[in-house]
Amino acid sequence: MSEARPGALSPAGPAARRTAGSKLLAVLDAFTRDRRALTLSEIARATDVPLSTAHRLIAELCSWGGLERDPDGRYRVGLRLWELGALAPRGLGLREAALPFMEDLYEVTHENVQLAVRDGVEVVFVERFASRDAVAVYTEVGGRFALPPTGVGLVLLAHAPAEVQEQVLAAPLRRYTAQTITDPVQLRRVLAEVRRAGVAVSDRQVTDDAVSVAAPISARGEVVAALSIVVRGSSPAAVRPMAPGVRAAARAISRTLSGGSAEG
């Protein structure tokens, strides 16, 4: 994953005007799924600060619990950040409401059961169940992915504000497999069908052997998340029998989130 960061700047440039808080955030932002452990020098380069400044910032974060130091001297994200992240309202209340129904789906299917929300033009996965024999997926709890190729992403994009849809449709659509939809006209038709049918099917758009079916989760009339099952398959028929269960579970979660009121 490529990352944009400012180049070397003179003391009079923008870097000199960065606040202490922005520098601390830049240290945390240096960590990605591909770079989970970093040395002091790597953090200094990624944040564009001197080694001495990076050392001070890291010491503050370690003292607070935001970073932890490995025996080999590299740094990783600390548990304090995980504790704070768990308090995010879109994750905590949603996850608590969804877990019983996700567990039921998993016990019946023993397939990948996923819960996701939208953040900008990306999917963020909040929870996931999977058996050892389930088809391999890229999903990780807390992980991000593009909206268009995934079942949950199609649901969330279909119900996103018009400006978000247009932003996605105007950007290049990345191809993951031969089945990935990369034509914005076709994707627009698919989104309309998702809204009409109440479910989305992603047919081998992310990997060549995985098919998913997803349904929207609503709270007080607004789609706030999506629930899906991902199975091994070679056509939409692989998930057709599971669509009613996914839709029923999503509606049950919606009622829980809305305090028992009915959701369409």
Claim to verify: residue 100 and residue 214 sit in the same structural domain: yes
Residue 5 domain-assigned (yes or no): no
Whether residue 246 is found in the same domain as residue 150: yes
All residues at 6 or more sequence positions from 36 whose CB lies less than 8 Å from its CB, including other chains: 76, 77
What span, in angstroms and rounded, lies between the C-alpha atoms of 159 and 157?
Answer: 5
Contact 158, 198 (CB under 8 A): no
Query: Do 194 and 238 reside in the same domain of the chain?
Result: yes
Reported as a single tens digit per residue, the pLDDT across 156-206 is: 999 999 999 999 999 999 999 999 999 999 999 999 999 999 999 999 999
**Domain contains 36:** yes
- Residue 17's pLDDT is 66
**Do 61 and 156 lie in a common domain?**
no
> Cβ(255)–Cβ(263) under 8 Å?
yes
**Per-residue pLDDT at 8:** 34
Whether residues 151 and 246 fall in one domain: yes
**Domain shared by 59 and 167, yes or no:** no
pLDDT for res 128 = 92
Same-domain pairing of 40 and 151: no
Give me the CATH number covering residue 219: 3.30.450.40
Eight-state DSSP code of residue 135: P
Q: Specify the DSSP class assigned to residue 204.
A: S
Q: Report CA Rg, the chain.
A: 21
With respect to residue 8, please indicate whether it lies within any of the assigned structural domains: no
* 2 belongs to a structural domain: no
Number of domains within the chain: 2
Domain stop point among 85, 102, 134: 85
Whole-number percent of the chain with pLDDT over 90: 66
- pLDDT for the residue 12: 37
Q: Give tens-digit pLDDT for 76-122.
A: 988 788 767 666 655 557 888 899 999 999 999 999 999 999 989 99
Residue 9 lies in a domain: no
Same domain, 115 and 35: no
Q: Kindly state whether residues 204 and 223 are assigned to the same domain.
A: yes
Domain membership flag for residue 77? yes
What are the tokens at 138?
Answer: 């890229």
Q: At what angle do helices 51-64 and 40-47 cross, to 10 degrees?
A: 110
Q: Which residues face 67 on adjacent strands? A: 77
**What pLDDT shows up at residue 94?**
86
Q: What is the pLDDT of residue 230?
A: 95
Q: Can you give the residue range of the structural domain that contains 151? A: 89-257
**What does the pLDDT read at residue 11?**
37
User: For residue 264, is pLDDT > 60?
Assistant: no
Q: Which residue has the higher pLDDT, 260 or 110?
A: 110
Token pair 């992240």 in the structure block, residue: 85
Residue 263 in any domain: the answer is: no
How sure is the predictor about 242, in pLDDT bands with cuts at 50, 70 and 90?
Answer: very high
Q: Say if CB 46 and CB 39 are below 8 A apart.
A: no
Query: Is there a domain that residue 6 lies in?
Result: no
pLDDT at 38: 93
Q: 65, 85, 105 — which closes off a domain?
A: 85
Domain containing residue 25: CATH number: 1.10.10.10
Tokens of 147: 């909206």
Among candidate residues 170, 204, 213, 174, the one with its CA nearest the CA of residue 188: 170
Tell me the per-residue pLDDT of 7-35, one tens digit each, with 9 for 90 and over: 333 333 444 467 888 888 899 989 887 78
Tell me the average pLDDT of the chain.
87
pLDDT attached to residue 32: 82
- Cross-strand bridge partners of residue 222: 219
Does 261 have pLDDT greater than 80?
no
pLDDT above 70: percentage of residues in the chain: 88
Do both 71 and 50 map to the same domain? yes
Listed range (54-58, 81-85, 90-94, 213-217) with the worst mean pLDDT: 90-94
Q: Are residues 240 and 153 in the same domain?
A: yes
Position 252 pLDDT exceeds 70: yes
Last residue within a domain, chosen from 85, 109, 130: 85
* Residues 250, 215 share a domain: yes
